[in-house]
């Protein structure tokens, strides 16, 4: 299983953002190793979802729009990943799967997917928060 670049970027951005002070785009690119294009695209999507708030101009930047404890990792994953099982059975793509009723791999993947979702639903941005040094601090 592999999360796409937008999901990874979104989680990293949220790990660095706080509710009480803005984080600028240049801070995100410098401290998180993300490209400006990815930051812009990802922040726009997070703002549309009501997770981030942005402010232009001096003293502006991005901050959490909701408390970190109310934003789950799974909520963010669901925003950026395809709405399918992250551990899909590939055998059935070309038609009838001949071993579907006997397949232990499919059952194991379903259990792994359920465990992954459960863990990510319990994990919040507050649990993941980073303490980043601020310039001049």
pLDDT in tens, 100-136: 777 788 788 888 888 999 999 999 999 998 775 544 4
Between CA 119 and CA 55 the distance in angstroms is 33
pTM above 0.85, yes or no: no
**Does residue 134 belong to any structural domain of this protein?**
no
Mean pLDDT of the chain: 85
User: b/e string for 110-132 if b means 16 or more Cβ within 10 A?
Assistant: eeebeebbeebeeebbeeebeeb
Domain that holds residue 14: 5-128
**Does residue 52 belong to any structural domain of this protein?**
yes
Q: What is the CATH number of the domain that holds 99?
A: 1.10.10.10
For residue 52, pLDDT over 80 is answered with yes
**Does residue 137 belong to any structural domain of this protein?**
no
**Does residue 44 belong to any structural domain of this protein?**
yes
**Does residue 32 belong to any structural domain of this protein?**
yes
**Does residue 62 belong to any structural domain of this protein?**
yes
For CA atoms 20, 25, 27, 28, give the dihedral sign.
positive
CB 124 within 8 A of CB 68: yes
3-state secondary structure of 32: helix
Domains of the chain: total: 1
For residue 74, pLDDT over 90 is answered with yes
């Amino acid at each position: 299983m592999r999360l796409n670049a937008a999901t990874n970027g979104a989680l990293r951005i949220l790990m660095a953002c706080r509710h009480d002070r803005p984080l600028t785009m240049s801070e995100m690119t410098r401290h998180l190793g993300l490209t400006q294009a990815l930051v812009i695209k990802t922040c726009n999507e997070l703002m549309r979802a009501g997770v981030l708030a942005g402010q232009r101009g001096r003293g502006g930047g991005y901050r959490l729009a909701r408390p970190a404890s109310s934003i789950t990792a799974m909520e963010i994953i669901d925003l950026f990943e395809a709405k399918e099982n992250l551990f899909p059975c590939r055998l059935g793509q070309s038609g009838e799967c001949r071993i579907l009723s006997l397949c232990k791999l499919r059952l194991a993947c379903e259990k792994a997917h359920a465990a992954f979702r459960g863990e990510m639903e319990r994990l919040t941005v507050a649990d993941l928060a980073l303490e980043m040094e601020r310039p001049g601090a």
